[in-house]
Structure 1
Amino acid sequence: MASNDHGQAGGQGLTEFVDRYKQYMQQKENTHEFIRDLLVYADGVESKLRTENSQLLQILNDTRLDLDDATKSRRDLQLRLRDLETRLGVIPDRNPYVMVLIDGDGLLFKEHLVRQGVVGGRKAAEELRKAVTDKFSYDEDTAIEVVAEIVANVSGLSKAMKRDGCLDDESILYEFISGFNQAKVPFNFIDVGYSKEAADAKLLCSARFHLRNFNCKLILMGVSHDGSYAPYLDHLIHDDTGKQRIAVLEGCPTVEDIVATGITITSFKTIFRSDKLRVPSPQIETPTTTTTAQTMSPPPSVSYAAITQTKASPPPQITLPIPLKRANTPARTLKPFTPAWNPGPRGLDPPIQVNPAALERLKKRKGSDKLCNNHFLRGPCTKGDECDFEHNYNPTKEEKAVIALFARLSPCTKGQECDIDNCIYGHHCPSVVAGVCVHPHCKFRVDEHPPGTKFKHARHADWN
């Protein structure tokens, strides 16, 4: 019995060891499997990281190429910009300036400056420069320049100032202008002679030019006295190129048409006059009766009776660029007052018949919507797209007659010496009715009206 117990005990011990061995081998197999799984996982992670690293390297290389290309493009653009600046003479913000454009027939310097002649001209230029720089400073680090251009009919202005009494001698104005021109290189007082259109065109062309210049920070237009500039100013302040870069320099109170545009208005009261020249209009007795040929008082130095007794030569035959309206068509004739008077070698301009409806229709066109006289009567307009008036329009015959009438309101620069048969401008005032000039802004001189004409509205000093 003892030996059997011992045998059983030995058998059980071996079985236990075998079981433990099997457990050990199973555990070892599990460990190896875990290690294999771990190695597979690590290999997958490493492979994924290698792929991502490769992609990042590719992105980095592409980015470097893009950076190199952007750097090269930027340098190319810088070189091209410098080349353009050199060729155009434009270096942004290195030469900022304010442009002062003045219609010298209406914006007048103070009397005490003009009376000083050359010295006064220099003082006026210096005071104008200082007033502009003080009021319109641009950059503390960059000095702003002031450029001034004044245009006027110097001969007419000097005569008007002498009649006003602010000058004893017309030559003083010429001395003042000489001093003004000597004071600063960019200061110029320009004599455009007897031509309102030339003065207007010069100012407006200068304004257009300087508005396109980056260095021009502001344009001061000395035109407060003349409502004819209103359409142009209104166009500019509603255009991105001119908005906030143009203002009106006021002398005498700004006319309502310009105020209505909403443009900025400034003034230098110590430099410019705030009143107009005191030029009395001719005082003529009003005719007591109306007849076919009205009787008017002659000028003191001329016998009107002698003029009427002299047979006037008939006016030359003039071919208008548009046909006149026939009497059988509903129309009215704006017939100027034509007494027994011969204005000169050319004679009287033939009257133009217009259709009332067409007249009212075109009068309603304002600003840049107005039709261009030159384009439709003589065309095409030489200004092209630079012209401030309408070209894209097909006027009727009645409307062309109205355009011709509007053109007639502007004086011909050659007056009675004009030898152009189909000249579209007026050679004497067409607005005289019953011995009175009724045009609110008549540009014709007194001697371009019939002797004894009275004036319903105050006249500009330059047209007396």
Structure 2
Amino acid sequence: MTFFVTCSKGCLEQLSGEVQSLWSEHSLHLETIRRLESDLNVYKCAFNNVNTDLATAHKEKEHLETRLKGHRVVTLIDGDGAIFSKELIAQGQAGGLLAGKQLSESIFQHLSEQYGSHPYQLWVYVFLNKKGLMETLGRIGPPSIKSSFEDFITGFNQASERFSMLDVGNAKEAADAKIKCHLEDDLRLPQTFKVIFAGCHDNGYVTSLRSQITAGYKNKLILLKSYREMASGITELDLPVLAIPDLFIPQKLVEPASPRLPSYSSATKAPLSVVKETNKQQALANSQIVSPPATYSAIAANPYKREPTPELDSSEGSTSDESIYGDDLPHDAVVAAMAFLILQPLWKHNPPPCTLFYLATCKHGTSCKYSHNYYLEADDFENMRTNAKKQPCPAVNRGEACTWGEECCYGHYCPALSKCYFLKQGKCKFIGVNMHKDTKLSG
């Protein structure tokens, strides 16, 4: 019995020790739990603060991206093709201000309708050959257009601090080079919202535009239409188009054919309308001159005074003081010289007439090595067109797209096509691809 009591007492003591040990461990666990809960609360608070900071950072990022994206709108205008209307130019400085206002208001209205109201900032760059354009306008329109063109440019530049009409000179494709450079640089700026391109008359821009579209900037491009019909290559790009009525001249400038200078009868000294083929030889026979001048400039340099002829004079108010020839050249010399010149083919004159000046647009102006001073009739123009088609278009000859398209005055195909004698000898000047194919009969 004593043994049983002793064992029971020992077991109870052992059990009590184990209970106390378990309780101590439980207390330690509780302390650990309280400590962990405290740490968890600290981390929760820190996490909430991080979430708040992160949300604030996201908002700041979105705001910064919006500011970086901006709503900068750049308009690039090829002023040699997209020419402001003659009515606006004739108004001088006031016309320039009006053109700038009309352009900006139309662009802002289009952007608001298509993309919503935003704080758009508009930059406008117009690149042109000022001297060449002034000369052309002076020939096709009233004198007021040419004289007011300088004031028009001033007015346009004053329309906004971000408007610039810039003269690039008469170098070939100088305006094109400027526009292509701006096109690439402005499209790639994140601040640029849209680039409005006004060179839709010229297929020469197709490659640059297509390159930017391929690079992913199609959504930034808008075409500003000047001519009624855009160049075919530009149309195929399938870009949004903006048209502003009455802002630009709606078609290519074509200078009217001028009548040939009238010849003179040695008997009456009265001007005749034109020396016809039937009396050309007679004019030579009646002349006493031995060596008639061989160039137009020799005649034009010696004006001969004539009586007023209102029925032939295109300008009003002609007086006897007006002259087309001078006193230094005898009248009979004028008759013979005119007949001599008329009998000569155009290309034999020295210098010969400038094909681009009479059939298209010559950018060289007064520095051109060919003459711009001949007065041609309809048959002269027709002969010039026929002969020009016998010369290869430089662009097509190099395998490039011609910016004039079907309106090009030069030939896009050899007149003899596959039957060309010189092609078989390897000497034909038409060397571009497909320029001898019978299936291609149009330029």
TM-score by length of 1: 0.49
Partner of 2:238: 262
The alpha carbon displacement at 1:432 in A equals 9.4
**Is the Cα–Cα contact under 8 Å of residues 432 and 438 in structure 1 kept in the other structure?**
no
* 1:125 and 2:79 are equivalent in the alignment: no
More displaced, 115-124 or 199-208? 199-208
Aligned counterpart for 1:455 among listed residues 409, 416, 427:
409
**Is the Cα–Cα contact under 8 Å of residues 99 and 148 in structure 1 kept in the other structure?**
yes
* 1:248 and 2:223 are equivalent in the alignment: yes
Partner of 1:161: 137
* 1:144 and 2:98 are equivalent in the alignment: no
> Following the alignment from structure 2 to structure 1, what is the Cα–Cα distance between the partners of residues 177 and 253?
24
One-letter amino acid of the counterpart of residue 130, structure 1: E
The alpha carbon displacement at 1:111 in A equals 3.3
**Structure 1 residues 30 and 411 mapped into 2: Cα distance closer, same or farther (>3 Å)?**
farther
The alpha carbon displacement at 1:171 in A equals 1.1
**Structure 1 residues 434 and 68 mapped into 2: Cα distance closer, same or farther (>3 Å)?**
same
The alpha carbon displacement at 1:238 in A equals 1.3
**Structure 1 residues 117 and 239 mapped into 2: Cα distance closer, same or farther (>3 Å)?**
same
**Is the Cα–Cα contact under 8 Å of residues 104 and 151 in structure 1 kept in the other structure?**
yes
CA deviation profile, 1:250-305 (whole Å, cap 9, x unmatched): 11122111122333332222423332323347999xxxxxxxxxxxxx98978699
The alpha carbon displacement at 1:455 in A equals 3.4
> Following the alignment from structure 1 to structure 2, what is the Cα–Cα distance between the partners of residues 31 and 133?
96
**Structure 1 residues 172 and 211 mapped into 2: Cα distance closer, same or farther (>3 Å)?**
same
SS in 2 for 1:150: strand
SS in 2 for 1:157: helix
SS in 2 for 1:238: helix
> Following the alignment from structure 1 to structure 2, what is the Cα–Cα distance between the partners of residues 305 and 23?
160
* 1:180 and 2:156 are equivalent in the alignment: yes
**Is the Cα–Cα contact under 8 Å of residues 438 and 455 in structure 1 kept in the other structure?**
no
**Is the Cα–Cα contact under 8 Å of residues 247 and 263 in structure 1 kept in the other structure?**
yes
The RMSD of aligned alpha carbons is 5.4
CA deviation profile, 1:322-362 (whole Å, cap 9, x unmatched): xxxxxxxxxxxxxxxx9657669xxxxxxxxxxxxxxxxxx
Aligned counterpart for 1:275 among listed residues 251, 256, 259:
251
Percent sequence identity is 22
The alpha carbon displacement at 1:196 in A equals 3.4
CA deviation profile, 1:36-73 (whole Å, cap 9, x unmatched): 4444444445556667887898999999999999999x
Partner of 2:199: 223
**Is the Cα–Cα contact under 8 Å of residues 70 and 193 in structure 2 kept in the other structure?**
no
Partner of 1:200: 176
> Following the alignment from structure 2 to structure 1, what is the Cα–Cα distance between the partners of residues 5 and 42?
56
SS in 1 for 2:67: coil
Alignment of structure 1 residues 49-448 onto 2, 5 Å: 92-93=67-68, 96-137=71-112, 140=117, 143-165=119-141, 168-240=144-216, 242-252=217-227, 253-280=229-256, 416=369, 434-436=387-389, 437=391, 439=393
> Following the alignment from structure 1 to structure 2, what is the Cα–Cα distance between the partners of residues 122 and 131?
14
Q: How many residue pairs are counted as aligned between the two chains?
A: 292
CA deviation profile, 1:388-434 (whole Å, cap 9, x unmatched): xxxxxxxxxxxxxxxxxxxxxx99997659xxxxxxxxxxxxx9984
The alpha carbon displacement at 1:213 in A equals 3.1
**Is the Cα–Cα contact under 8 Å of residues 195 and 413 in structure 1 kept in the other structure?**
no
One-letter amino acid of the counterpart of residue 98, structure 1: V
* Unpaired segments ≥5 residues, structure 2: 54-63, 261-294, 301-336, 353-362, 371-383, 397-407, 413-443
The alpha carbon displacement at 1:229 in A equals 0.4
**Structure 1 residues 272 and 441 mapped into 2: Cα distance closer, same or farther (>3 Å)?**
farther
CA deviation profile, 1:115-171 (whole Å, cap 9, x unmatched): 22211110110111111122224775x622111110111222233334443765411
**Is the Cα–Cα contact under 8 Å of residues 440 and 457 in structure 1 kept in the other structure?**
no
The alpha carbon displacement at 1:246 in A equals 2.1
Partner of 1:392: none
Higher alpha-carbon Rg: 1
> Following the alignment from structure 2 to structure 1, what is the Cα–Cα distance between the partners of residues 219 and 196?
11
**Is the Cα–Cα contact under 8 Å of residues 92 and 214 in structure 1 kept in the other structure?**
no
> Following the alignment from structure 2 to structure 1, what is the Cα–Cα distance between the partners of residues 130 and 122?
23
Partner of 1:13: none
> Following the alignment from structure 1 to structure 2, what is the Cα–Cα distance between the partners of residues 304 and 209?
56
One-letter amino acid of the counterpart of residue 105, structure 2: K
The alpha carbon displacement at 1:195 in A equals 2.1
* Unpaired segments ≥5 residues, structure 1: 1-17, 73-84, 285-297, 311-337, 345-409, 418-430, 443-453, 459-464
SS in 1 for 2:150: helix
One-letter amino acid of the counterpart of residue 128, structure 2: A
**Is the Cα–Cα contact under 8 Å of residues 281 and 455 in structure 1 kept in the other structure?**
no
SS in 1 for 2:173: helix
Choose between structure 1 and 2: higher helix proportion. Answer: 2
> Following the alignment from structure 1 to structure 2, what is the Cα–Cα distance between the partners of residues 219 and 248?
8
**Is the Cα–Cα contact under 8 Å of residues 194 and 413 in structure 1 kept in the other structure?**
no
**Is the Cα–Cα contact under 8 Å of residues 162 and 169 in structure 1 kept in the other structure?**
yes
**Is the Cα–Cα contact under 8 Å of residues 132 and 365 in structure 2 kept in the other structure?**
no
**Structure 1 residues 340 and 146 mapped into 2: Cα distance closer, same or farther (>3 Å)?**
same
**Is the Cα–Cα contact under 8 Å of residues 393 and 411 in structure 2 kept in the other structure?**
yes
